[in-house]
Amino acid sequence: MINLAELRRTAARRITEPLKTVLVKSRLKPNTLTWLALAISIIAAGAIATNHPLIGGFLVLLSGLFDIMDGALARLTNQATRFGALLDSTFDRISDAVLLLGLLILYIISGGTIEMVLIFLALVGSFLTSYVRARAEGIGINCPVGLFTRAERVIILALGLLLNPLYEFSILIALLLVVVLGFFTVGQRLIYVWQQTKSQ
């Protein structure tokens, strides 16, 4: 069976490997990269809200890259802390909300009712995906399963934005995927935790 968590770690290593030397020489703190990732997400949301999907898509990917690099830098320089992990997770949730807010503003202006509903569902799904795992760990159960995590959400959303100048329904399709796969992952994690606890 394919280990998705291991695949994600491998992909992250391959992305950050060429940047290791630059990261170390930069003397940046991991938390600085975390803040930069959030700042770029806010700028991306502004670009999306003002109907600049190409710029927004590029910035979403750039924010995702910084989000990967902060953890890589922390491990590489032995600066990993529990607070850093908490800050990273917190800012990830804020970034998710901010990006979807940018889309919501865009569709409030253009009157896209279906898209607005999907944005709400995408926000609920993205928060529940993280919450179920965190709550499981809070009751002492490791929850390593999950088909569709934040990494996949970022990539799908960025692709929807980048392709929008070529295909007008690309954002709608991206939102549909985020909603369907997000709630699938919520169910997947709930079932996993239930299986782990049903004998208790």
Q: How many Å apart are CA 191 and CA 114, to the nearest integer?
A: 29
pLDDT at residue 1, as a whole number = 44
pLDDT band per the 50, 70, 90 thresholds, residue 128? very high
pLDDT tens digits, one per residue of 71-117: 878 887 888 888 988 999 999 999 999 999 999 999 999 988 999 99
Q: How many Å apart are CA 85 and CA 68, to the nearest integer?
A: 12
- 92 as an active site residue: the answer is yes
- The answer to whether 92 and 38 have CB atoms below 8 angstroms apart is no
pLDDT > 90 fraction of the chain, expressed in percent and rounded: 66
| DSSP 8-state secondary structure symbol assigned to residue 144 | -
pLDDT band per the 50, 70, 90 thresholds, residue 4? low
- Mean pLDDT value of segment 63-69: 89
pLDDT of 3 > 60? The answer is: no
pLDDT of 200 > 70? The answer is: no
pLDDT band per the 50, 70, 90 thresholds, residue 16? low
What is the sign of the dihedral through the CA atoms of 52, 163, 152 and 125? positive
Superfamily covering domain 4-195: CDP-alcohol phosphotransferase transmembrane (TM) domain (1.20.120.1760)
Task: Specify burial of residue 3 (Cβ count, 10 A radius: 0-12, 13-18, 19+).
Answer: exposed
- The answer to whether 38 and 151 have CB atoms below 8 angstroms apart is no
Active-site residue (options: 67, 70, 88, 92):
92
- The answer to whether 98 and 41 have CB atoms below 8 angstroms apart is yes
Token pair for residue 15?
A: 């992305």
- Mean pLDDT value of segment 150-170: 94
Task: Specify burial of residue 200 (Cβ count, 10 A radius: 0-12, 13-18, 19+).
Answer: exposed
Q: Report which of residues 5 and 78 the model is more confident about.
A: 78
pLDDT band per the 50, 70, 90 thresholds, residue 55? very high
Question: pTM (2 decimals)?
Answer: 0.88
pLDDT of 134 > 90? The answer is: yes
